[in-house]
A and B are shown apart, each in its own frame.
Chain A
Amino acid sequence: MAAKGFLADYRVLDLTDHRGALAGHMLAQLGADVIQVEPPGGSAARLQPPFAPDWPVGENSLFWAAYGSGKRSIVCDPNTAEGLKALHRLVATADCLFESAAPAEGRPPWLDPAALAAVNPRLIQVSITPFGLTGPKRDWADSEITLWAAAGPLLLTRGLDDHPLRISAPQAYLHAAGDAAGAALIAHFARLASDEGQHIDISVQQCVPQATLSAVLAKAVEHKDFVPRPPPPGAQAEAKGPDLSGSGSRTRRSKWSVSDGLAEMHLGLGPAVGGSTNKLFAWMRREGALEERFWDWDWTTLHRRLASGDLTEADLDAARDAVAAFMLTLRKQDLMTIAIEDGIRVAPVETISDLLASPHEAARGFFRTINGPFGDYQAPGPFAVGAADGFVDIRPGPRLGEHTAEILASLPSETAESAR
């Protein structure tokens, strides 16, 4: 028997566009009945890139294929009297409703939490908006990149020329949508005790700072230059302390060329991460790839030798050069084995196609083929392995209004409802 999923008993109404589509998709993966409630023209999520070149325009969004998958679709325009009635009939049967109407665009009155609670007091309504539903910036126009700026990670992510860079695939709303799914379930537990739903107000700007590793709190403890910024022109170049922050916070110097691509490796020093560098140097020494002058270097305490002047930045650069030369003799496919067998913290910098070809993910059966209406595509599978009954095989992203008739037919009749 096919798994029903942990959340098979629950119904979710998804009124989001691309700014929240992941939330419903996550719950659908766990078996919830997620109904995308779409305006007559379809959710804006259907118009998001990337596009499949051979699929019909309007039905070719691979964003939709990915995050619409697992859901059913109903067309409903609550701006009409009939549509509003249909929405209320749906709301009466739902456990949870996600929506992402930004205040700057004018939130429709039918999304007012009091109005929806009047229809179903047990409803959990989650609003995902750029800055939240209160505060001086609630009405600010937004886009993915401006939220990445407002929440901190954009200034922290610098190119080699210090120009701030975003991630080349939109991420900000995904962080908020992931939080929305968690929030809905926490509110579900509150409802088990109280039998009451509630409204949850999620601000993207408050979700994304998680991607700064708490650097956004540096000012609270007056940790100056926690993530150093470029010095102003003409300023005396200060003697900069080494990066002891560990865990590759500053990744731009952590790319190394191997023979067929790039490797990720933080040449860490200091107590947090110096041990891994020691293992790398021990290995290079065994391979005859390390000059004797580096043999006694202990990277867990190297910052002290640098501070005392016993070693110089030039010595450190020479060590980096030795590592760079050695890395060029390696291949991407060897790196995971090296990391596992020698305890060296190195990894291949994978392309998206590499992910799909990964022997590891193949062994775990992670990627799934979804038979879309216009062709097959690959999608990430369950986000937790081990509880086979917890997750379900998901349907492709639905066509617009594909399930309108079946959903409407399944709802309690209006007479029964008004008698309730």
Chain B
Amino acid sequence: MNTLAPVLEALTVLIAEDSAADLLLLSTIVRRQGHQVLTARNGQEAVEVFTRERPQLVLMDALMPVMDGFEAARQIKQLAGEALVPIIFLTSLRESEALAQCLDAGGDDFLAKPYNQIILAAKINAMDRLRRLQATVLQQRDLIARHNDYLLHEQRVAKAVFDKVAHSGCINAAPNIRYVQSPYALFNGDLLLAAYTPSGDMHVLLGDFTGHGLPAAVGAMPLAEVFYGMTAKGYGLAQTLREMNAKLKRILPVDMFCCATLLCLSAQRRVVEVWNGGMPDGYVHDVATGRRTPLVSRHLPLGVLAAEAFDDRTEVWPMALGDRVFLLSDGVLDTADAYEQLFGAERLQQVFAANREPDRLFEDIERALAGFRGEVRDDISMVEITLLAGQPLRSQGALYSDSGQLSPLDWSVSFEFRAESLKRYNPLPYLLQLLLEIHGLREQSGALYSVMAELYSNALEHGVLGLDSRLKRNAQGFADYYRLRNERLAQLDSGHVRVHVHVLPTAAGGCLTLRIEDSGPGFDVEKVLARPLDVDRLSGRGLSLVRQLSSDVRWSDGGRSVCVEFSWEALA
């Protein structure tokens, strides 16, 4: 063992040298340094030995018979491929041109004759370090490539699942929704969901998760499940928001959350109800006046606050048929130019002001973004929903194929909801589920839910809370109405709404009688019903809707009690 230059690891060294004396001398030196030695007498043999034994380092004489060292070096380098097999030329040549030729042929270093043991050992060690470095680099490169493949595969799978979740519902089927989502927006955590409620209202969610790729997709699943599930069951925005917030708070790490705007558009009631937590302003576009009312973020994003602190208060805005709601992600406003200036809300307003054709708004915005930046960012989402009349009241889910024999047909149930319940509990989804046990009613579930929802909110708002629907005659009054509603509900400490359900079998099928009573002062039924139905009026929609959808509506007890009937024929 050479003590001057300690060997890290014994190498297999090939020595190619045509002079027997030099070969013996070199072999002895290299063996003494602790390495294994293979020998060759010319370039041809060197290539053969290399092919067979794969030595880790080569000492190569430059001038040899049959095949010289230069050609052998070229062939060995080619055989070695990506791995570094250092070749040190042994040469008595002195001219710089000849020495350069050694390196040009693929040599890594040269050693002049006569041999100096210490220099040789140091050079072998130095070359070994290089060889190891190269091996490590290759190994790490392959590892990174493997990890990258793996990651890309996972992302593809996650994106496929995410796309399915984010695009179920009615987002593509509804005639009144237009949206653009750049391909990466989806996987950058932007989420767009839409679904119909049992009464034909539409819920829309535009969300933006912190984080990208997998983490965002992981959060999107439960959010979408809650959204679709609760919307289909008839839950309102407040309950749905509470559930989404609680679920995200429970499963997401502290630094992850979801900015979101949730809308409920009702063509029947001509309103949009909005909750915005952390998204840029959306807009309600009053097409007749051109006015755009901003839908401002009033809340922390979903998944930040604990359930007790969560604020589910919504805002309600009137809409006429043909009016539009526009929502966007922060990718639009945060598009930056070359000087890191952001596009911002003011420039968006300018695009609004310049827009002549409402249907080309998205294109106008995209053009403005492209002009501002030179290219449009790859993570923008925009959605626009138009309020259209006559969304069909479709029945929810598949009808059972049995004849309805198993469904209960002769029963009654009564509920009394008192102040504390009225404040925060919405009994409608529960009641609807109960009534859908009657298979014959399922086809009418939309109408049933709409009627029940109208009568319940009349009993609560006009009865228990004493609100006058005439407040809603203009936009300001409309806002006042919903502000008063929230205030009075928060302070409520007495009063009740009772719901009585009677189900009776009939010769043809069955009949449901639904009676709703409230503790309010009642109202002059004849006077209210005599008011003309004005299509542009913001108030009074509820009652005309109820009268359209149910066969018989009767008030009693001075307007404090209302009764409707639904009947059905036995399924064939």
Question: Is A bound to B?
Answer: no
Residue ranges of A at the interface with B (Cβ–Cβ < 8 Å): none
Residue ranges of B at the interface with A (Cβ–Cβ < 8 Å): none
